[in-house]
């Protein structure tokens, strides 16, 4: 029996192309694994009214880890228009399957390394090496949202004095999203960040928040972080407001190490940080829980490029490297990262984002030939 059982979810758009690239590399590296492909994405929303069919969730439960390509998400109105007419009056609503996977499998850490590989012409600086720990299950993306606001919810919220000014507005004129932060989720994401910093001998952990305005939620996680920081005298603990952080990450990204943030803030700063080291063609993510993980490139499905094999598959290959690490295949992970770094440094294979004409598969073959 193979040592690992891996779920492969190509998704749609360029997801299928970058997954093909990952498979080329995995085959070459000879990971002892069985791969099981599953359905996910826009196509299944349109046909079945569910972008994450139950059979897929079930299949994931029978695997050790998952490689995910990309999926298309569209706003509410557009999603309804594309739904099969026979499903239209069933009250179905589209949800992002990757966000759902993170929540359903409790993949509470979204780990996003942003490292400048030498020779990448898109590096903003060559000395950037950030690791972002984005909380992945709640915060602003908890999914507790309303439009229109139900009267019962409004009534309950009237206990808050600031709610008074919304008291007489028509309910359909109020859209409402909540930022939910629990002690459990704050504690475990911070723990992961501090433990990582200690293990990898990183200098600092920075909590990226906004506690001067979001006093209750921001203040809550800050308090937990300050207490936890005392357990890590070997790691410096820094606090930054998210707006200032956006500026500092452009000004002096080399000064930062490990960043930890709530879901929305982590989403935003991780795109910013990705751009410092070459953009989405290089940005990889691991959605990691206690006993399951889904690895993906941070980029989306880029519908306009579908079928052209033009996107940079480096992000997917780096996500594959993260998966190998998580599976305990450290040597393979190191070899893969070296091969990717080698191809970047040589600069012969360049996809369109780097001004070249190479394809997603050219990148994979070049990496494979270095393995």
Residue 138 binds Mg ion, judged by CB under 5 A? no
Least gap, CB of 300 to ligand IPM (angstroms): 6
Separation of alpha carbons 184 and 162, rounded Å: 28
Angle, CA of 60, 61 and 65, to the nearest 5° = 55
Separation of alpha carbons 263 and 1, rounded Å: 38
Q: What would the 3-class secondary structure string for 55-75 be?
A: HHHHHHHCCCEEEEEECCCCC
Among residue numbers 243 through 302, which ones bind ligand IPM (CB under 6 A)?
267, 298, 300
Q: What is the largest CA-CA distance in the chain?
A: 67
Could you tell which of Mg ion, ligand IPM, none binds residue 96, using a CB distance below 5 to 8 A set by kind? ligand IPM
Could you tell which of Mg ion, ligand IPM, none binds residue 99, using a CB distance below 5 to 8 A set by kind? ligand IPM
Nearest partner of 26 among 242, 313, 285, 287, judged by Cα: 313
Which residue intervals of the chain are DSSP H helices? 15-29, 42-48, 54-61, 76-82, 97-104, 151-157, 183-199, 215-229, 242-251, 263-276, 314-326, 330-346, 360-370
Nearer to ligand IPM, 11 or 38 (CB): 11
Among residue numbers 255 through 284, which ones bind Mg ion (CB under 5 A)?
267
Least gap, CB of 135 to ligand IPM (angstroms): 11
Separation of alpha carbons 93 and 195, rounded Å: 39
Q: What is the β-pairing status of strands 176-177 and 65-70? A: unpaired
Residue 99 binds ligand IPM, judged by CB under 6 A? yes
Q: Which stretch binds ligand IPM (CB under 6 A): 17-25, 51-59, 92-100, 355-363?
A: 92-100
Among residue numbers 56 through 75, which ones bind ligand IPM (CB under 6 A)?
73
Residue nearest to ligand IPM (CB): 96
Nearer to Mg ion, 17 or 267 (CB): 267
Separation of alpha carbons 161 and 324, rounded Å: 52
Could you tell which of Mg ion, ligand IPM, none binds residue 98, using a CB distance below 5 to 8 A set by kind? ligand IPM
Residue 135 binds Mg ion, judged by CB under 5 A? no
Nearer to ligand IPM, 11 or 211 (CB): 11
Residue 98 binds ligand IPM, judged by CB under 6 A? yes
Could you tell which of ligand IPM, Mg ion, none binds residue 39, using a CB distance below 5 to 8 A set by kind? none
Least gap, CB of 69 to ligand IPM (angstroms): 12
CA torsion sign for 18, 53, 267, 303 is positive
In the complex, the residues that contact ligand IPM under the rule CB under 6 A are: 73, 96, 98-99, 267, 298, 300
In the complex, the residues that contact Mg ion under the rule CB under 5 A are: 267
């Amino acid at each position: 029996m193979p040592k690992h059982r891996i779920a492969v979810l190509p998704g749609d758009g360029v997801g299928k192309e970058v997954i093909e690239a990952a498979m080329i590399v995995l085959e070459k590296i000879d990971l002892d694994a069985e791969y099981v492909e599953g359905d996910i994405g826009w196509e299944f929303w349109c046909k079945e009214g569910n972008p994450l069919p139950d059979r897929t969730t079930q299949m994931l439960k029978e695997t050790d880890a998952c490689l995910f390509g990309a999926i298309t998400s569209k706003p509410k109105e557009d999603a309804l228009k594309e739904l099969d007419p026979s499903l239209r009056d069933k009250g179905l609503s589209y949800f992002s399957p990757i966000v759902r996977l993170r929540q359903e499998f409790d993949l509470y850490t979204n780990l996003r390394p942003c490292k400048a590989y030498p020779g990448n012409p898109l590096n903003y600086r060559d000395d950037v090496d950030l690791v972002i720990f984005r909380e992945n299950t709640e915060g602003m993306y908890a999914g507790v949202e309303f439009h229109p606001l139900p009267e019962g919810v409004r009534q309950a919220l009237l206990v808050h004095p600031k709610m008074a000014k919304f008291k007489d507005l028509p309910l359909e004129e109020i859209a409402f999203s909540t930022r939910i932060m629990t002690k459990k989720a704050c504690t475990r994401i911070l723990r992961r960040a501090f433990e990582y910093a200690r293990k990898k001998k990183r200098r600092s952990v920075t909590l990226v928040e906004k506690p001067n305005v979001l006093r209750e939620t921001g203040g809550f996680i800050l308090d937990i972080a300050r207490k936890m920081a005392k357990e890590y005298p070997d790691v410096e603990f820094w606090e930054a407001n998210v707006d200032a952080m956006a500026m500092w990450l452009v000004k002096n990204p080399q000064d930062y190490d490990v960043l930890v943030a709530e879901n929305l803030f982590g989403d935003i700063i991780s795109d910013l940080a990705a751009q410092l080291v070459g953009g989405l063609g290089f940005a990889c993510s691991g959605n990691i829980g206690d006993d399951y993980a889904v690895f993906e490139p941070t980029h989306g499905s880029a519908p306009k490029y579908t079928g052209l094999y033009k996107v940079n598959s480096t992000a997917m290959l780096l996500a594959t490297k993260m998966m190998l690490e998580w599976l305990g295949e450290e040597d393979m992970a190191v070899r893969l990262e070296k091969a990717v770094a080698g191809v970047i440094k040589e600069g012969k294979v360049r996809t369109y984002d780097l001004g070249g004409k190479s394809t997603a598969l050219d990148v994979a073959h070049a990496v494979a030939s270095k393995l």
